[in-house]
Structure 1
Amino acid sequence: MPERSLLSSLSITTEIDVVRCRQQAKRIAEWIGLGNVEQIRIATSVSELARNIYQYAAQGRFDFYLTRNARGELDSLQFEALDQGKGIEALQAILDGTYVSPTGMGIGLRGAQRLMDDFTIETSSRGTRIVAAKHFPPRPFPSSAERARFQAEHHEKEPLDPYTAMRAQHEDLLVASDELRRKQHELEGTNLELENTNKGVVALYSELEKASQELKEASEAKSRFFSNMTHEFRTPINIIENISKLLLTGVDGSLNDEQTKQVRFISDAASELSILVNELLELAEVQSGRMTIAVEPFSLLAFMAKLEAFTSALSLRYPQVSYRIDLPAEDIVLHSDQNRLFQILRNLISNAFKYTPQGSVRVKCYHTGEDALEFMVADTGIGISEDNQRRVFDEFYRIKTSGLKHIEGTGLGLSLAQKIATLLKGQLDLSSQEGAGSKFYVRLPIQYAGGHEGDDQALDLSGTTILLIDDSDADRYIISKALAAFDPVLIEAESAKASMDKLNAIRPDIIFLDLDLPDISGEDLLESMDWSMHRRVLVNTAKQLSEADRARLAPFCHGVLHKSEPDYVEQLLRQVKSLSGSLKHDRS
């Protein structure tokens, strides 16, 4: 409890004493330098409590105190209202505003409480004690001489002119009325600004929805174009390939050396175009959700033997590169799509050879747990720079290097491999250092989960507004890419300040919140949100969180995602699916 000094004490035995208490409270507030409005608030609170004492307890006392902080400065005006009446019944109901009385009892008590900063009540059949305080910025504490002079000038039983007291109270009412009128004008102005802002936000939201729909239609049109185009290309490409083979075999007569060379160029070009067409078709199937997953049991050792046969044949084209396939110590039966998994690893192994001018390629399988496997494809090649690591999974992107100018490929292999890994409920990652080689990791469950290839596609976020609050462009990009297939309305904010308007005006359905923001901490922003928003928040952080940290965050969010977790994207989708499901349940 802060140190305090008694300044004035007044007894209440008559109705005049109620008026005297009010006047004394206003004098003290004026003497310590409070503004007119604060003086009236304190005086009104004291007046209501003094009237309650006189009306319900017949007599009592008011004590006024000045309190000082640790530096000895004056920082609040405090008073105690004491009586020996019968106590206050239904106190909590009165303070909550739920108590109804035909005499109006309780209205003054609740009003007095709202006018003060601190307000505590102790009541029983032996009486009531109320302690209240008004805080203000610290200022010099009055000296003993100053306090004594005030006490001498305003002693308890000084003459009271009822007319003067009534006129002073009337003036206070006019000041309070003027203050209320000013506040009303300010409130009306603020409401008008909010209304105009909301109109702008609604218009912006409408534009975002329109843009989102246009993007969705454009994406669908692109997928249809890819699919139709590639189907149309297949027939002429097959004709070119087959006729080239006939010419090279000499069925219709032998070719001279120059003609053979020319036909081989045609055949090789047709083969490359055929690969591009097939990859485009598969990419369109993945993006449209039409790619099927054929789950079947198969032996891991038999699968690795198939990989070794492929790698052995491929290595003949790269005499400067050695390879090694590390077989697992024991066989395991996988329940997944063998052909799709082979397609992923075939792309990774082909890339490893392509980007290793001289060195080695290694393929290994790890049993990382009871229900998961991890395949690693490592090379000692040119490596991938940090900037390129963010882009190698983009469609049609190929690493440019001065040392390797004639690398075959379409730039679709890694993008397609990553999407197929996701369909297999797995994940494709890489670690690399420029000039020191690369390692690609494929993690997937031994038992394909869900029993149906469309589980992730069943997630429908159309019409769901998702706000990404994160200062990292890369982290926002990862979330956007992971959720893009499910058609949400994505809104981004790079700081807490930039998110404020979006939080309050749009009220997103799902909020991804980074804890390390450039202006204020994510935890502070989280605590400032209203309780109804907390259950929409997914904390998305790279910070190492202890159990205590997680327990502290738990009441303020739906869940916590860690950016460095190996199955981050899978956890993200699972949390979003859970959260979107609860939102739909709330709406129904």
Structure 2
Amino acid sequence: MNIPTAQDAVPLVSLSLTTEHDIFVLRRSGKAAAEALGVEKQDQIRLATALSELGRDLLASSEPAVTFGLVQGPDPVLRVSMFWKDGHGPGQESMLAAARLVQIHHTPSQRTLVIEQQLTVDAQTPESLQHTRELLMAHSGSSVSEDARAQTSDLIAALEESRAQREELRRLNEELEETNRGVVALYSELSEELEETNRGVVALYAELDEKSRQLREASEAKTRFWANVSHELRTPVNSVVGLARLLLEFDVERLNEEQRRQVSLISASGATLLALVDELLDVAKAESGRLEPNWAPVDLRVVLGQLRGTLRGYGHGRDVELMVADRDLHMVSDDVMLTRILRNLLSNALKFTEAGTVRLDVVTESTADGDHVLFTVTDTGIGIPAEEQQQIFEEFYQVRGPHQRGRPGTGLGLPYARRLTGLLGGTLTLTSSPGSGTRVTVRLPVGRPVPAAAGGGEPGPPLVTVLVTVDDDDAFRATVRPVLDQLAQRVVEVDQGSRAGSVVRRERPEAVLLDLHMPDLDGYAVLAEFAGDPDLREIPVVVLTSAPRASLDHDRLTHARAVLGKATLTLSQLESAFSAFTPHTQGSAGRKDITP
């Protein structure tokens, strides 16, 4: 540690210590210098007291002296240096007492003691230095009685200041206690308000739970009512429709023209009523969660052809043209649900179009979330106001107006179509403008959407690790691939029967999916090759075919573990076939005929 020296400071005054009177002078000089240099009152007394204690101990040493100096700079300091020629200097007790009051640097080997008091920047002006020197010189000639009176005055001043501080502290304590009482009162008030609010929230939650329960029970009652009424209506309506058809087919000679017309009206009205009953029943099943898609490969050309035939003549008597696209596409879906969605949309468009066109377009779309098919129904009809475009998806809601005359309906078409679209993993969107027609787009995945597992977990493990599918039909392989991806960790495709043996030897799959009719080497020959090869005969083979059961050569299919029809192929059929020959049962499972 570097000890400051007197040479670092601007000298102010030097004093010698020989008598007790000099100690009084030292004390008064220290206080006067600190006061002149702007030191606070309490720090003045601390400095004077420390100098008095240390100076009194120095009287026992040889030739003690004291110098006052000012260290200038950014952080000015009043420095008091004590020197003695011989002896031990100040005692340990005095040093400890002074160290509590001021900053001390002690060098016993050099017989030096330095005391420092921090000052403000303004303390180092020439005027301050001159004033300080004058005060120090004035105090050097003071008497013992004057010093005693000054010390007594300082003590009284210190006591007065201490008393004032105690009074201020008492006042502050009273204010703090008053503040604390206010805080406690405010806390109590807020706590009571919070408890009251919590009671209200609890009561509101209880009321909401009760309302939710009532709404749930009402919805369940409505669903049961729909289901019961639909079941009860279906039997008599079926009887009406059936009897009307019998009359038209077998009693046509006994009916005159008017009677035939009336029976035809009965048959048509009964068929319409039966369709409405089926729709109500499906809505009830969907709301209760009992309507599940029957996933299977779908040939869109067949579906679109059925729609054209069913809806032909629907707009009879009006100048409306129905245009349904003819697309050769395949997808995995529920053909019944898909047909009902499109029929509802097309019939709705035809119903509210007086003249112009109703059009169904079909396109494919590839995005980051997979391949999709877009079915778009556009019409040139009356359109739907913007404020009612959300309400029309509420069950039984119908846009009111003169356009409703002669156009009966239940208001279930669009809600029913949107609900079925959701079950198939797709979306249904609508845009419309009054007088400019309506556009409805149904977006469905090409393959079966993978459902989220309960509780947010992962789907179940695949049934087989590697699956080889042998089929020359590129469209069918693309259609069934999403289904197979759910059953196998890896799917290897082969487009020629002649390559089946080499691929199976290389891949060693746990199952083979084999088309029966291929141009180069058909499924019968591939089965025979597998049966005659010791390395291949134990690999389970599932045969796929679109041929009728009666045309199959069953004697040549004995090596197949299962035979499934392509037209009605479903995920559950494949799961059943694959689960029959899990690794621990291979070689023992019998063949399953699941062809239609």
Using the size of structure 2 for normalisation, the TM-score is: 0.48
Task: Specify the structure having the higher radius of gyration (Cα).
Answer: 2
Using the size of structure 1 for normalisation, the TM-score is: 0.49
